[in-house]
Amino acid sequence: MIVFDKVWFSYGINHVLKDISFTVSENERVAILGESGEGKTTILKLILGLIRPDAGKIIIDGEDITNKTEDELREVRMKFSIVFQEGALFDSLNVKENVAFCLREYSKLSEDEIDHKVRELLRIVGVEHAIELMPDELSGGMHRRVAIARSLAACEPKMFLYDEATTGLDPVNADIICKLILDLSKNGRGLILVTHKIFDAVKIAERFMFLKDGIILFDGDKEELVHSTVSEIQIYLNEVSLSCKANKSGG
Amino acid sequence: MKIKELISELQDFYLLSARGLLGAVKKPFYLKDMIEQMDYAGAGSFVIIFLVSIFTGMALSLQLSAELSSLGLKMYTGKVVGISIIREIGPVTAALVYAGRVGSGIASELGSMILGHQIDSLRVFGVDPMKKLVTPRILSSIIMLPALTIIGDVVSLCGGYYIAVFVSHQSGTFYWSSIRDVLTFENVFAGSVKPFIFGYLIACISCYMGLSTKGGSKGLRKSTTRAVVVSIVMIIVSDFILTRILLYVLGFSV
């Protein structure tokens, strides 16, 4: 379970998060929505302990991680699997080496076993054919899928964290990624999806948070989201209804 | 506010420098990464060190021959070229070239890894970026810069020989015997301590600048430029300080 208790965070003089409090249980599918620069990615980084809050507490599975050292945080991070914006693949390694990175680092598997596991993970995400390619030879969609495969190789995560997993992708590839994200969460593992694409968020999540000016403007389920009177959310919902209309008229 | 930031930056730099070096004695060891860095820093810099050194040696020999000829002391060309190159010009020239080529490469590589969240990925996967990225770069610089300096010194002396013999019409045998005379423990020690320090400084400064990159491609440009500029200034400053200390320790009178 993730608990944010009155968390403040700022980059210099820019207060990104102001007194944020929320709780996410480990089997929930949560989407954090908001415009660019509203602190959505910052929340993911705080959960992983990559940055420290200015004030407040972050509690993961009952443990306050706010003041943990880098070594202590390693154990906490193993509970999560994150896919960063645009994949964050190691650009000097090919797809196989990227996915095998953690296996080589931590497991005692032989090279044959690593090869087998890498192929298996790439098959799950549907990019087995790209095993020898370098990251700069991959399309945006393939990039994200390889990043998902790599995050799966890292550990047996309790929760998945996705940072703008579908941003910059065409609708077909975005849909593939959404389905993949849902498939991976089928066995009850929760996720936090950070996005500004509400159309993709409603496909995946069951709970929605909306960040604006450093505070959570809205926190509720799909039903509450649809009937929300918050003007910013209405703008986002209009995008969804326009997309739906376009889909219907397109047959 | 500025002073506070500067102190904080200095503290981070010292911590990186210390932790980067301590990584060499604490597991896990990234030997493959270190060899890769040594290949990039050492083998990759050979040609440029060769070119810069040969022309430096030739220019120095030319200048000294001209000046010493007017004083009737042309036969001392080899001796002065030898001392200058072994004690001062060789280590500094190699370090400046190294900072320009390898230092900028380290800063830009680490900077783009920061911007692309690759460093965050490493941390999430439980890998210490300090050990995986900084330690191999520091160690490879500490090993490769002295090696490149020795190569550069030899090439410079050969360049000096060419000018002394074929342009200034001096005796080649006398030139080499003068060089042999200046290859004393004091001179060789004074010249060979510096590259270790310069290598450590360049790697630490470049890693620090790379890892503190922020602000997109503009920020990357800034951190790469800062890495080279600060390295060059620090090479010159530390060269002066080291020279002063070494002269005192080795018992030279000034």
Amino acid at A88: A
- pLDDT at residue A251, as a whole number: 43
Contacts of B27 in chain A (CB under 8 A): none
Each residue's pLDDT, cut to its tens digit, for chain A (251 residues) gives 899 999 999 988 888 999 999 999 988 999 999 888 888 999 999 999 999 999 999 999 999 999 898 888 988 888 888 898 878 899 889 999 999 988 888 778 888 999 999 999 999 888 899 999 999 999 888 888 899 888 888 667 889 999 988 887 888 888 888 888 888 887 788 999 998 888 888 889 999 999 988 899 889 888 888 888 877 778 777 766 665 565 555 54
- pLDDT at residue A239, as a whole number: 67
Is residue B231 scored above 70 in pLDDT? yes
Nearest residue on chain A to B120, alpha-carbon basis: A50
Distances (CA, A) of B164 to B63, B66, B93: 10, 10, 21
- On whether any CB of chain B is under 8 Å from the CB of A105, the answer is yes
Q: pLDDT tens, B136-175? A: 999 999 999 999 999 999 999 999 999 999 998 989 999 9
Separation in Å, CA of B125 to nearest CA in chain A: 7
Write out the two tokens for A156.
């047996």
- pLDDT at residue B42, as a whole number: 92
Q: Kind of pairing, strands A215-221 and A207-212? A: antiparallel
- pLDDT at residue B1, as a whole number: 57
Nearest residue on chain A to B1, alpha-carbon basis: A12
Q: What is the 3-state secondary structure (H, E, C) of B175-193?
A: HHHHHHHHCCHHHHHHHHH
Among residues B27, B56, B17, the alpha carbon closest in space to that of B206 is found at B17
Q: Kind of pairing, strands A14-24 and A2-11? A: antiparallel
Instruction: Supply the DSSP symbol for B67.
Output: H
Ramachandran sector of residue B77 (left: φ over 0; alpha: ψ -120 to 50; beta: rest): alpha
Q: Are the Cβ atoms of A91 and B118 closer than 8 angstroms?
A: yes
Q: What is the CATH number of domain A1-79+161-172+192-251?
A: 3.40.50.300
Separation in Å, CA of B118 to nearest CA in chain A: 5
> Taking each helix axis from N to C terminus, what angle separates A95-106 and A111-125, rounded to the nearest 10 degrees?
130
- On whether any CB of chain B is under 8 Å from the CB of A134, the answer is no
- On whether any CB of chain B is under 8 Å from the CB of A30, the answer is no
Report the alpha-carbon distance of residue A240 to residue A202 in Å, rounded. Answer: 9
Q: Give the 3-state secondary structure of residue B127.
A: coil
Tell me the sheet residues that pair with A2: A24, A60
Report the alpha-carbon distance of residue A32 to residue B54 in Å, rounded. Answer: 61
Write out the two tokens for B60.
């120095």
Q: Are the Cβ atoms of B118 and A48 closer than 8 angstroms?
A: no
Q: Are the Cβ atoms of B127 and A82 closer than 8 angstroms?
A: no
B51: confidence class by pLDDT, cuts 50, 70, 90:
very high
Nearest residue on chain B to A103, alpha-carbon basis: B125
Q: Are the Cβ atoms of A101 and B118 closer than 8 angstroms?
A: no
Separation in Å, CA of A89 to nearest CA in chain B: 7
Write out the two tokens for B138.
């520091």
Separation in Å, CA of A51 to nearest CA in chain B: 10
Q: Are the Cβ atoms of B120 and A45 closer than 8 angstroms?
A: yes
Is the separation of the CB atoms in A127 and A149 below 8 Å?
A: yes
Is the separation of the CB atoms in A198 and A240 below 8 Å?
A: yes
The pLDDT > 70 percentage for chain B reads 100
Q: For chain A, what are the domain ranges?
A: 1-79+161-172+192-251, 87-156
Q: pLDDT tens, B212-225? A: 999 888 999 999 99
Separation in Å, CA of B60 to nearest CA in chain A: 42
Pinpoint the alpha helices (H) of chain B. Answer: 2-22, 31-41, 46-70, 77-83, 90-98, 104-115, 118-124, 129, 135-162, 172-182, 185-211, 216-249
Place of tokens 């050979």: B46
Is the separation of the CB atoms in B174 and B78 below 8 Å?
A: yes
- Side-chain half-sphere exposure of A224, counting CA atoms within 13 A: 10
Using CB atoms, which residue from B118, B124, B128 is nearest to A90?
B118
Q: Are the Cβ atoms of A90 and B126 closer than 8 angstroms?
A: no
Q: Are the Cβ atoms of A106 and B121 closer than 8 angstroms?
A: no
Contacts of B121 in chain A (CB under 8 A): 84, 88, 90
Among residues B129, B220, B106, B123, the alpha carbon closest in space to that of A84 is found at B123
ipTM: 0.82
Tell me the sheet residues that pair with A210: A33, A218
Report the alpha-carbon distance of residue A128 to residue B40 in Å, rounded. Answer: 31
Q: Are the Cβ atoms of B116 and A45 closer than 8 angstroms?
A: no
- On whether any CB of chain B is under 8 Å from the CB of A88, the answer is yes
- pLDDT at residue A241, as a whole number: 62
Q: Which of A47, A90, A108, A138 to mutate to test the interface with B (most CBs of B within 10 A)?
A: A90
Distances (CA, A) of A215 to A7, A44, A76: 10, 15, 26
Report the alpha-carbon distance of residue B76 to residue A190 in Å, rounded. Answer: 80
B95: confidence class by pLDDT, cuts 50, 70, 90:
very high
For A50, other C-beta atoms within 10 Å of its C-beta total: 19
- On whether any CB of chain B is under 8 Å from the CB of A133, the answer is no
Report the alpha-carbon distance of residue B99 to residue B15 in Å, rounded. Answer: 21
Q: What is the 3-state secondary structure (H, E, C) of chain A?
A: CEEEEEEEEEECCEEEEEEEEEEECCCCEEEEEECCCCCHHHHHHHHHCCCCCCEEEEEECCEECCCCCHHHHHHHHCCEEEECCCCCCCCCCCHHHHHHHHHHHHCCCCHHHHHHHHHHHHHHHCCHHHCCCCHHHCCHHHHHHHHHHHHHHHCCCCEEEEECCCCCCCHHHHHHHHHHHHHHCCCCCEEEEEECCHHHHHHHCCEEEEEECCEEEEEEEHHHHHCCCCHHHHHHHHHHHHHHHHHHHCC
Contacts of A101 in chain B (CB under 8 A): 125
